[in-house]
Structure 1
Amino acid sequence: MAAQCVTKVELTVSCDNLLDKDIGSKSDPLCVLLMSTTDSRWYEVERTEKVQNCLCPKFAKKFVIDYYFEMVQKLKFGIYDIDNKTVDLSDDDFLGELECTLGQVVSSRKLTRPLVLKNKSPAGKGTITIAAEEIKDNRVANLEVEARKLDNKDFFGKSDPYLEFYKQTPTGWQLAHRTEVVKNNLNPTWRPFRIPLQSLCGGDLDKPIKAEFECINSKKKQKKKGYKNSGIVSVKQCQVVKEYTFLDYIMGGCQLNFTVAVDFTGSNGDPRSPQSLHYISPQGVNEYLSAIWSVGNVIQDYDSDKMFPAFGFGAQIPPTWQVSHEFPLNFKPTNPFCAGVEGIVEAYRVCLPQVRLYGPTNFSPIINHVACFAQQALQQSTASQYFVLLIITDGVITDMDDTRNAIVNASRLPMSIIIVGVGGADFTAMEFLDGDDGRLRSMTGEAAMRDIVQFVPFRQFKNAPKEALAKSVLAEVPGQLVEFCNVMKLGPPNTSPAPNPAGTI
């Protein structure tokens, strides 16, 4: 039997006195969390945001881990100075790491250790602190905040303000949330945001929040007579609500609809050649098949009929040999469904020798195809269906503008997009679509309602257990589903209406 998860643990990471690898500024650190498998191989779990120009970063992004009492769970926290937009960390400066166990972290509640370099020598005076908290509260605070008459800190233009919320802990104030930056504005209104009550105040509504409503610049106050403040921050609304969890939706009858799209463009190479990404080895595998198996095996459990549409794009197809960017792998336009993951794999194997690899690499047709079905599902008054599109590709998108428009449109629908990059291509453009570093915009400037794209390069998981790829690419789907349902105020199909607010300020 599989080990039972005792609880979920939220890890908050901060560092002090990091090595400075930049000339003319300070390092731009990021923390990556890796876990060890039973055979002592490391695989990446998640990353924090990058903190600009800072040697003592406090990372707002939390790591959430299933905690198993009966297992030794080995963790490795790696700190890197990020100076480019590539997903690979090998071309970024390594600032140090810490290896420990989750048991050590939770028993300490707050673990501070020196960072070490790869040769196990200390990384200067640098330290890392990991704080652990059990997650046991599904309440969130929905906040709307604005400020007025802030001081201007820029020589050219106006300040670019953001807001940080801290919560009080037995060991001091801890960063709970950082808003987005509002560019060039001394009277900013930040987008409405949510903070889990556990992160904000440990679930204790009587705890104070360290939010400076009157901004006081102590140096300015000393120098300037009659000084009042450097601006006012006001909370327009703070509403505490109970949120449905991902499992509330799944157990309440929400179905995940899984669609696969496979890249058949010419850059993959002749499938008959062992150098081709579509070459099926004597063991019956290639990277495309591995990605289908890995992701499909997890997601099929959430679809009751296990019938999955599967498509190809970028190939010339019989009988007319026209290029198609949206053809069923089974060549049945009116019935593109495959029975289970095995059916997808079989359809791919049969399709491969029947098409001619061609091009270009267009994503928008298949995204718009799935979006049509997601739009129909939106007519329901509850969250009955959610669509997950897996695109497996080897290269650079040629319809980037149309793809951006398609993703922004899909962000308003019950839909997530997973992109797995196979082979050794430069996937910088894929990172751009994965809106973790900023909100994706369409060509007309319209912002995505939410981040729905998760991209990972398959090469990162070559030495990882087969579960690792699925865990990485599917990690954001539960949160994306819940976020969508919250925004649209949709409850699970088989339950009472959405929870009432637990309190409003």
Structure 2
Amino acid sequence: MKGIKKPQIKLKVEFINCPNKCNILLQKINDNKEKEEWDEIQNERISTNKQDFSVTFAFDSNFPDRSYFKLSVQTKGSESAEFGFYSFTLGDLIICIKEKKNKLALKDPKTTKDLGSFIQISLEEEKKESYLLKMAFSSEKIKKLSSKSNVYLKFLFIDEENEISKEVWRTMRCPSKEIQWNSFKISSNDFCMGEFDHPITVECWEQKSSEKEKLAGVGEITLEEMIQSTNDYKFPLVVPGTQKKKKAKQLGIIDLVSFSKSQEYSLFSYLTTKLEIQLAFAVDFTASNGLPKFPNSLHYRDPPKLNQYETVIHTLGSALLPYQKNKNTIPALGFGGKINTTGKNINCQCFPLNGKPENPECEGIGGVLNAYQNALKHVGLHGPANFANIIKGMKVMTETLGNTYYTVLIIITDGDPCDLVLTVNALLSSSKELMSVVFVGVGDDNFTDMKRIMASQLDQKYRKNFHFVKFDENFKNNPKLFIQSALNPLNHQILEGLNLKKIKSDVN
């Protein structure tokens, strides 16, 4: 969507023992070009008597930004040339700063060896007012509603100028006889994009038994009005299509029953201080994938091409791994396979891809891919596709890690879970821990049950720490779009989990 602002990052760089007359360029790889090209973000001209100087750069970034940046020091004169460079991702810099290894050597552009020149880095996020909001609405009466219907509110951020129309929240349904919607929590950044005085459209939807939903009424609110009001904020609900007319037809009044706000820290502030990401994978070994030796199998390998499982592991793993401090500890599991244990082949719903039950962790994304490829040689495809054991196991691991780690479990599957109820229960239980589950569907299945799980309304005591994305040809040809669809929901989920645990950032 156009117009949605990303947090601005300030990168302060101290250059040590560098040419005192030079150009300093901050560049970024252009993902939209077929060939690797560097786009210039900022160009600073340096002319000083000192070989030590500092420059501050500003750029936009959002977790999990996997963009590659490059700082390039270029000498000035008749024979201008690159003196040295340093390439990085935002995740790389965050880990360097947390490990207090923020003095980095510039590389020689010809040999890529360390020069006798260095950069010392620090990162800072532009401060923005942000709150965790909690609110609840009710209404004594709304005209023209059936007494046998259920109603819910949908909140929309609409910005016609920037072509933005985004649903930010919808309440749970309640009977039209007694209209009292459950309270809900949401970040001010998610609710109004941080623009407190921007109007939020409120739609009231009605549904009678098996009939289609219909739009019953429309209203408008702003966060600023709710913050400034005392305990008596209300707004009119009018007939759809009349809200912009002078004499809008009023259907009823919506009351703000309760409202509170508390300081919310940005994900960037956690990542640069105490929070570590812990990545984990789980791969589907059910028979529906097809035998790996046949080209129509989802597990068929044709090096150097990657199959869909390998593509998902490589693409999402490469995006998240820069934010993980110890890159050699990635649990990689399988489910639905038949493995040999003590001379017997048994069906297993949670087994290590590397064949080491005592230590299922792999070294880097390459290690995960190697473990998966080796498992295809030794693990028989069977079934059923049960997710609950995998989720429960990762929940136990998350509990042992403590409050400085957030686990991201990526489950790659070719179909719906066979243990649907147990999977849902495992997800609800995991929602109380610092973990998220990303389901990625491969193959041609419709994933009907999975979509139903994602569309379900949860009780307020649970948070939605899971989401589903289907990997298809569109994503295969556009890795950036796939990463955004699969990983962007983590921003909200991680912050919600930290707020649930009442964990504060170390950044003031």
Residue by residue, what CA displacement relative to the aligned partner does 1:38-68 show, whole Å, maximum 9, x if unpaired? 249xxxxxxxxxxxxxxxxxxxxxxx999x9
Contact 1:312–1:325 (CA under 8 A) maintained in structure 2: yes
- Structure-2 separation of matches of 1:474 and 1:324: 29
**Pair 1:160 & 2:180 matched:** no
Tell me the amino acid that sits aligned with residue 8 of structure 1. Answer: K
- Compute the displacement of 1:36 (Å): 8.9
* Partner SS, residue 423 of structure 1: coil
AA aligned opposite 2:378: Q
Partners of 1:140 and 1:483 in 2: CA distance: 12
Map 1:159-238 onto structure 2 (within 5 A). 160-162=151-153, 164=155, 178-185=169-176, 186-196=178-188, 199=192, 202-203=195-196, 208=225, 213=234, 215=236, 230-231=252-253, 233-238=255-260
Q: Which residue, 268, 272, 275 being the options, matches 1:251?
A: 272
Question: Are 2:490 and 1:490 equivalent residues in the alignment?
Answer: no
Please give the TM-score of this superposition, normalised by the length of structure 2. Answer: 0.61
Q: For 1:307-326, list aligned pairs within 5 A.
A: 307-318=329-340, 319-326=343-350
Say yes or no: does 1:8 pair with 2:6: yes
**1:474 matched to 2:467:** no
What is the CA distance between 1:449 and its match in structure 2?
1.5
1:369 maps to what in 2?
393
% identical equivalent positions: 26
Look up the equivalent residue of 2:195 and give its one-letter code: G
**Displacement of 1:193 after TM fit?**
2.6
- State the AA in 2 paired with 1:202: E
CA distance in 2 between partners of 1:36 and 1:181 (Å)? 40
Matched, 1:422 2:452: no
Counterpart pick for 1:439 among 432, 457, 477 = 457
Task: Classify 1:272/1:386 alpha carbon distance in 2 versus 1 (closer, same or farther; 3 Å).
Answer: same
Distance 2:451 2:385 in 1: 16
- Letter matched to residue 139 of structure 1: S
2:237 touches 2:254 (CA, 8 Å); kept in 1? no
Distance in 2 (CA, whole Å) between partners of 1:271 and 1:216 is 58
Q: Which amino acid aligns with 1:312?
A: G
Q: Decide whether aligned partners of structure 1 residues 235 and 356 sit closer, same or farther in structure 2, where only a CA change above 3 A counts.
A: same
Q: Is the 8 A contact 2:130 2:194 kept in 1?
A: no
Name the structure 1 match of 2:33. 38
Indicate conservation of the 8 Å contact 1:393/1:419, yes or no.
yes
Three-state SS of the structure 2 residue aligned to 1:8 is coil
Q: Is the 8 A contact 1:168 1:208 kept in 2?
A: no
Distance 2:173 2:312 in 1: 39
Contact (CA 8 Å) 2:152, 2:170: kept in 1 or not?
Answer: no
| Matched residue count | 356
The structure-2 alpha-carbon separation of the partners of 1:268 and 1:237, relative to structure 1 and needing over 3 Å to count, comes to same
Residue number among 462, 473, 487 corresponding to 1:449 in the alignment: 462
User: What corresponds to 2:363 in structure 1?
Assistant: 339
Structure 2: distance between partners of 1:475 and 1:397: 24
Query: Match of 1:390, as an amino acid?
Result: I
Distance 1:213 1:157 in 2: 25
The corresponding residue for 1:78 is: none
Letter in 1 for 2:331: P
Tell me if the contact between 1:409 and 1:448 (Cα under 8 Å) persists in the aligned partners.
no
Name the SS of the counterpart of 1:331 in structure 2.
Answer: coil
Structure 1 pair 229/472, CA: closer, same or farther in 2 (3 Å)? closer
Amino acid at match of 1:314: G
Partner deviation per Cα, 1:236-289 (whole Å, 9 max, x = no partner): 2232x3311111111112111111111111111111111111111132521111
Structure 2 match to 1:403: 423
Shift of 1:374: 2.1
Give the deviation of 1:467 after TM superposition. 3.5
Q: Is the 8 A contact 1:161 1:188 kept in 2?
A: no
Change (3 A) 1:463 1:317: closer
Aligned partner letter, 1:425: D
Alignment of 1:288-303 (within 5 A): 288-303=309-324
Q: Which moved more, 1:290-299 or 1:421-430?
A: 421-430
Spell out the pairing of 1:73-92 with structure 2 (5 A cutoff). Answer: none
Instruction: Indicate how the Cα distance of structure 1 residues 413 and 152 shifts in structure 2: closer, same or farther if over 3 A, else same.
Output: farther
Shift of residue 147, structure 1, vs aligned partner: 2.3
Higher normalized contact order (CA 8 Å, seq sep 6+, divided by chain length): 1
| Alpha-carbon shift at residue 470 of structure 1 (Å) | 2.4
Shift of residue 217, structure 1, vs aligned partner:
7.1
Distance 1:38 1:166 in 2: 32
Q: Distance in 2 between matches of 1:425 and 1:189?
A: 36
In structure 2, relative to structure 1, the CA distance for the partners of 1:164 and 1:326 (3 Å cut) is closer
- Closer, same or farther: CA 416–214 of 1 in aligned 2, 3 Å: closer
Looking at structure 2, the residues matched to 166 and 305 of structure 1 have their Cα atoms a distance apart, in angstroms, of: 39
More strand by share: 2
1:6-155 matched pairs, under 5 angstroms: 8=6, 37-39=32-34, 137-140=128-131, 142-151=133-142, 153-155=144-146
Cα distance in 2 for residues equivalent to 1:201 and 1:283: 45
Give 2:344's aligned amino acid: T
Specify whether residues 351 and 485 from structure 1 end up closer, same or farther in structure 2 by C-alpha distance, changes over 3 A only: same
| Change over 3 Å in CA distance of 1:248–1:136 after alignment to 2 | closer
Cα 1:199/1:324, change in 2 over 3 Å: same
Question: The residue matched to 1:160 in structure 2 has which SS?
Answer: strand
My pick for the range that moved more, 407-416 or 156-165, is 156-165
Judge conservation of contact 2:331–2:361 (CA < 8 Å) in 1. Answer: yes
Name 2:288's counterpart in structure 1: 267
Distance 1:455 1:288 in 2: 15
SS at match of 2:406: strand
CA distance in 2, matches of 1:203, 1:231: 22
SS in 1 for 2:315: helix
Inter-CA distance 150–460: structure 2 relative to 1 (3 Å threshold): farther
Alpha-carbon distance between aligned partners in 2 of 1:312 and 1:162, rounded to the nearest angstrom? 41
CA distance in 1, matches of 2:159, 2:311: 46
Whichever residue aligns with residue 357 of structure 2, its letter is P
Tell me the amino acid that sits aligned with residue 192 of structure 1: F
Q: Residue type of the partner of 1:286?
A: N
* Alpha-carbon contact 1:439-1:447 (below 8 Å) kept: no
Alignment-derived partner of residue 73 in structure 1: none
Give 1:344 deviation, angstroms.
0.6
Deviation at 1:231, TM superposition (A): 4.9
